Structure 1
Amino acid sequence: MSKPTDLTGLTAVEMADKLAAGEITSVELTQAHLDRIERINPALNAYLAVDAEGALATAREIDRRRAAGETLHRLAGVPVAVKDIACTKGLTTTAGSKMLEDFVPPYDATIVTRLREAGMPILGKTNMDEFAMGSSTEHSAFGPTRNPWDLDRIPGGSGGGSSAVVAAYLAPLAIGSDTGGSIRQPAAVTGTVGAKPTYGGVSRYGIIALASSLDQIGPCARTVADAALLHEVLGGHDPMDSTSIDAPVPPVVAAATGTRDLTGLRVGVVKEIGGEGFQPGVLARFEEALEQLRELGAEIVEVSCPHFSYAMAAYYLILPSEASSNLARYDAMRYGRRVVPEGSPSAEQVMAASRDAGFGDEVKRRIILGTYALSSGYYDAYYGQAQKVRTLIARDFAAAFEQADVLVSPTAPTTAFKIGDKLDDPMAMYLNDIATIPANLAGVPGMSIPAGVAEEDGLPVGFQILAPAMEDQRMYAVGAALEARIAEAQGGLVLDNASEIPGTHDEVTA
C-alpha cells in the first residue's frame, strides 16, 4: 500500500487545489481512480458496485462548468465513495445483505444529494457488515473486505469497505456510518482518519437504519483536513430528518487548517479506557501521542468516567432492541427478498423462509436478542435499565468535559486481527468497540487519527479524540495538530510508510 505516484496519491485538498488551478481535470482524476479500482479492488473486495458511467458524467459536467467560469464548491470534481448503507437513486443499495441484494432506490439519501450538489463524482458503493452489524466486514453477505496493509487481515467494521478504499488510494474520500465505532475503528486499523459527528449533525434521511438513536454518518479520509472538508459538505440541518440539529455546521474546516499551538488546552485521558486487554503496541503509541500533545502545549489530565465500564453491556441491549424494530419491516410483504416455500404456504411461512434466506447469522443473533429484551416482562429489566445506564454515561461525559476540553483514548484495543480469528466468538468481536461505544451512547463527536504502527506486527494504531456535543471543531483542531506533529516525528504520514510493512501484498502496493 505504498503511496501511488499518479493523481490517486494526492490528498483531497491537493486534488481540489489542482482542479481549481486548471492543472488537472475531474475526468482525468476520476478515470485515474477508476483504473486503480479495476486493478486492485478484486484483491480487496472493498467496492460492491462501481458506477464508472455516472462518475465520469459528473466529472465531465464539472469540467464544463469550471471552464465556463462558474463558481464551484471547493471539492467539486473530487471523487468520493459511499458506504452501501446510503440510498443512491438508480444504483444498487444492499446494506451488505442478501435481503436487499437487488434493491435499487428511487431516491437519494440527503447526504448523497449534498455530494451531488457539491459536484463530487460518486465512484461506487463500499462493502460493509450486513446492516452495519459487525466490527470486521466479515459479516457482509458478499464476502469480506481485506485490509490493504495485509490481505489476510480485517479492515475493521462495519465500514471496512470505506476505510479500505481510502487506505488503498481507491478513493480520496468516503462516507461511513458509525453506530458504535464503525467509522473510527476501521480508520484505526487501516491507518486512516475517521470522524463521527455529533448525533444529529448529519442527516440520516435515506440511510438504512440499524439503531436509530445511535447511527451517525461521517467522513473517512487520509488527512484531518480532508475529513473536515467532507464533513462540511455532509453536515447541516435537514427537515426530512426529525433528529437533525437545526444549527450551522461547526467550523470544522477552519479548525483543521488553523493554529497548531495547543497551549492551554486540557486533554483528558479516560482512566477506564486502556490497560488490561489492550495490545502493548497500541498503548505505546498512545503514550507517545500524549507526549506529543504536551510538546504542542496541551495539559494532560486524568479523568474518570466510572460508568463507561457498563457501556458495552448497555449498548448490546439498546442496539439489538432498536435493530429488531427497524428490521421488522423486511417481511417479504412490503420490503426485502421474498422466498416462497413449496405448496401453498401461509404469509407467516413466506415471511419465515424469506428472513431465513435473507438475513445472515449475526443479524439473526441480534434480532433475537433485541426482540427478547423488548418482550413483555423483560423490557424494564433489560432495555429500560440499559437506557438508565446510557443516562449515567452521558453524565460521566458532562462531568469529564468540565475538567478537560477534549477526551482521548486508544481507538481500538488491538491492531487488525486475521480474517476468521474472531468470527466464531461474538463476544471477542464485540470487544473491538469497547473504546468507541460510549460516544454513540452519549451522542458526542469522536475522531480517530493514525498514531503510528505497533512494534509487534507493524500494523496501524488509532488515537481517539472526543469532544462535547456540537463542539466538533475541537476534535478537528486537536487531530490536525497531532497529525502534523506525528508526521514530523515519523518523517511522513503513517500511510506513506506502508510499503515497508512485511506482508503487504504486491498487487495492492503497485
Structure 2
Amino acid sequence: MTAESLKDLTIDEVRGAIAAGRTTATALAEMHYERIAAGDKEIHSYLSVSRERAMTQAEKIDAMAQRGELLPPLAGVPIGIKDALVMRGAPATASSLILKGYRPPYDATAVERLERAGAVLLGKLNCDEFAMGSSNENSAYGPVKNPRALDRVPGGSSGGSAAAVAAGFAVATLGTDTGGSIRQPAAFCGVVGVLPTYGRISRYGLIAFASSLDRVGPFTKNVKDAATMMEVLAGRDALDATSSEEPAGRYLEELDRPVEGLRVGVPQEYFGEGLDPEIRAAIEKVLADLKAAGCLIKPVSLPHTRYAVPTYYVIATAEASSNLSRFDGVRFGLRDAEAKSLSDMYRKTRDAGFGSEVKRRILLGTYALSAGYYDAYYKKAQQVRTLLTRDFLAAFEEVDVLIAPVTPTPAFKLGEKTDDPVKMYLEDIYSVAASLAGICAMSVPCGQTRDSLPVGVQIFGRHFGEATMLQIAQTIESAQQSS
C-alpha cells in the first residue's frame, strides 16, 4: 500500500486489509500522518492532530487482529473530526480565536461512538468560524483550499472535512450541517456527504451555532462507507434531549435493495434561473439513469422555496445570537487582559475573539429578537418555516425521494464572494429548506464540469428516510461508475 493509494482507500478496504494481515492500523495511521505532513500545508484541512490518542487506538486494533478477534465496523479506519465537535484533550476552537487554548475534558457522543467502533481519530479539521460560512474562508486560522482545484474554495462550513477526504488525508470525516455545511462542501470536493434527519445523530458535544438546525453527519468516499458511518453514529442518546427515539435503520442491509418502482420527485423550483447549465445537465443525466433503473420520475412543487433563504438567515442568526452569548471571557478561551471592568472585559473579549462574519450574524440575530421586531422577524420566520415543512410533507405523500442541485454553481474561486455577504448567502439557496424542515438529505458526486470541477446531486428523503435515500444514492453512484 502506497501513500498515493490512501486517496482512494475505503472503510471496507481498511478493515479487510487489517483483518487479513496485509497491513496494520498503526502503519495506516502513520501513512496518513505522513501524507498530511507532506500535503496539508497547502490545503490546510487540519488545525491539530491527535497522534498519541490515534496511535494508542491503532495499537488496540492491531492487538485484536493478532488475536484473531472479530473486528468492529470501523477497525483501524483513520477519521478526522470537524473542530466544531469536542474531542477529549484536543483543541476545540470552532475555528475561532475566542476559543483559542480550550481543551475540553470530554468527547462528543458522535466522536465516542466512532472510537468505540474502532476508528482511529487523526485530529481536528478546519471550518468556517462557528460553522458560519459557505466557503471555509471565515476560519480565524486561515482558509482551506479545494484539493480538486487549489484556486477554488472547498465549500463551507465543513470545508476541512470535505477536503481531507478528497485529498486522502482521512478515509472518512465528521462534519456538521446547519444550512448546507455538509452537502455543499461534499459537492464542491467530489465526495459523499450526509445530512441526517434532525434527531437522528446526537448533537451532544457540538459547539452550537443554531440549535434547532445544527446536525452532525459523515463525509466519505462512497455511498457504502456513508451507510457504514450512519450505522455507527445513528441512534438515541440520553445526553441529547433532541435525540429521537425512532429506531435507526439497517442502512447497509438495505443499501442494495432494488429501486424499481420508487417514486422520484423533481421540484420545479430548484431548476429555475441561476442554475449553472453544466450542473443542470449532470442532474438530468442522473434522472435518466434513475428512470433506466426503474424509478418513476414525477414533477412536484415546493411552492414556498423562494422564502427559504431569508427565513433561514433570520432563525439561524437569532439562535446564534443566543448561543454565542456564552463566550464572554469568563469560563474558557480568550480573555482580554487589559479590561478595567466586567462590562469592558465582555466587550473587548468578544470584539477581539469573534471574526467579522460571526459579528454580523450576532448583530442580525440580536436585532431580529429585539423588542418591537420579534413578531415581525423571528415569529414570522418560524411561521414560514412551518409552511416550508408542509411543502416537503405534501411532496412526500406523492414521492419517496426528491432530486435537486446542491449548489447553483460549481466551486467558486477563493476571494470571489468574500466582499458580498448576500452573494455568499445565496450559495445556500438549494440547501437551507431541508435544514429548516428537519428532513434528511445528502450530496452524491454525479460528474464534473468542462473545467474538471466536481458536480454533486442532492437527494432529499422524508423524516427518518435515510435508508431509501441511501438506496437511491447507491444507484446513482453505480450508474456513474458504469458510464
Distance 2:3 2:434 in 1: 35
Q: Does 1:394 align with 2:389?
A: yes
Aligned residues: 482
Measure how far apart 1:66 and its partner are: 2.2
Q: Is 289-298 or 247-256 further displaced after alignment?
A: 247-256
Letter in 1 for 2:408: P
Decide whether the 8 Å contact of 1:274 with 1:413 is kept in 2. Answer: no
Selected match of 2:357 from 352, 359, 362: 362
Query: Aligned runs of 1:80-95 on 2, under 5 Å?
Result: 80-95=79-94
Letter in 2 for 1:379: Y
Letter in 2 for 1:154: V
Q: Deviation digits for residues 175-205 of structure 1, max 9, x if unmatched?
A: 0100001000000000000000110000000
Structure 2 unaligned runs (5+)? none
* Structure-2 residue corresponding to 1:304: 301
Distance 1:487 1:106 in 2: 44
Decide whether the 8 Å contact of 1:329 with 1:335 is kept in 2. Answer: no
Distance 1:21 1:476 in 2: 29
* Structure-2 residue corresponding to 1:270: 267
Distance 1:263 1:27 in 2: 43
Letter in 2 for 1:430: Y
Q: Does 1:135 align with 2:137?
A: no
* Structure-2 residue corresponding to 1:100: 99
Decide whether the 8 Å contact of 1:8 with 1:33 is kept in 2. Answer: no
Selected match of 2:436 from 436, 441, 444: 441
* Structure-1 residue corresponding to 2:463: 469
Distance 2:249 2:462 in 1: 12
Which secondary structure state, in structure 1, belongs to the residue aligned with residue 304 of structure 2? Answer: helix
* Structure-1 residue corresponding to 2:161: 162
Letter in 2 for 1:467: G
* Structure-2 residue corresponding to 1:379: 374
* Structure-1 residue corresponding to 2:475: 481
Decide whether the 8 Å contact of 1:82 with 1:125 is kept in 2. Answer: yes
Q: Deviation digits for residues 233-253 of structure 1, max 9, x if unmatched?
A: 111110000000113212222
Letter in 2 for 1:482: I
Q: Does 1:403 align with 2:398?
A: yes
Distance 1:340 1:91 in 2: 24
Q: Deviation digits for residues 19-58 of structure 1, max 9, x if unmatched?
A: 2222221112111111111100101000000122221111
Measure how far apart 1:5 and its partner are: 4.3
Distance 1:33 1:87 in 2: 22
Distance 2:188 2:276 in 1: 13
Distance 1:16 1:276 in 2: 46
Q: Deviation digits for residues 218-244 of structure 1, max 9, x if unmatched?
A: 010010001111111111110000000
* Structure-2 residue corresponding to 1:501: none
Q: Deviation digits for residues 276-323 of structure 1, max 9, x if unmatched?
A: 111111111111111111111111111000011101110000000000
Query: Aligned runs of 1:260-339 on 2, under 5 Å?
Result: 261-339=258-336
TM-score for the superposition, normalised by structure 1: 0.93
Distance 2:300 2:109 in 1: 38
Q: Does 1:195 align with 2:186?
A: no
Letter in 1 for 2:184: Q
Which secondary structure state, in structure 2, belongs to the residue aligned with residue 22 of structure 1? Answer: coil
Distance 1:363 1:95 in 2: 12
Q: Deviation digits for residues 335-376 of structure 1, max 9, x if unmatched?
A: 43111336xx22111110000100000000000000000001
What do you get for the CA RMSD once the two structures are aligned?
Answer: 1.2
Distance 2:212 2:370 in 1: 19
Which secondary structure state, in structure 2, belongs to the residue aligned with residue 276 of structure 1? Answer: coil
Structure 1 unaligned runs (5+)? 490-510
Distance 2:296 2:261 in 1: 7
Decide whether the 8 Å contact of 1:453 with 1:460 is kept in 2. Answer: yes
Distance 1:320 1:5 in 2: 42
Letter in 2 for 1:270: P
Decide whether the 8 Å contact of 2:191 with 2:444 is kept in 1. Answer: yes
Distance 1:419 1:349 in 2: 36
Selected match of 2:341 from 346, 349, 354: 346
* Structure-1 residue corresponding to 2:35: 36
Residues 96, 5 of structure 1: CA spacing in aligned structure 2 closer, same or farther, 3 A cutoff?
A: closer
Decide whether the 8 Å contact of 2:130 with 2:207 is kept in 1. Answer: yes
Which secondary structure state, in structure 2, belongs to the residue aligned with residue 6 of structure 1? Answer: helix
* Structure-2 residue corresponding to 1:412: 407
Q: Deviation digits for residues 56-79 of structure 1, max 9, x if unmatched?
A: 111011111222233331211111
* Structure-1 residue corresponding to 2:232: 233
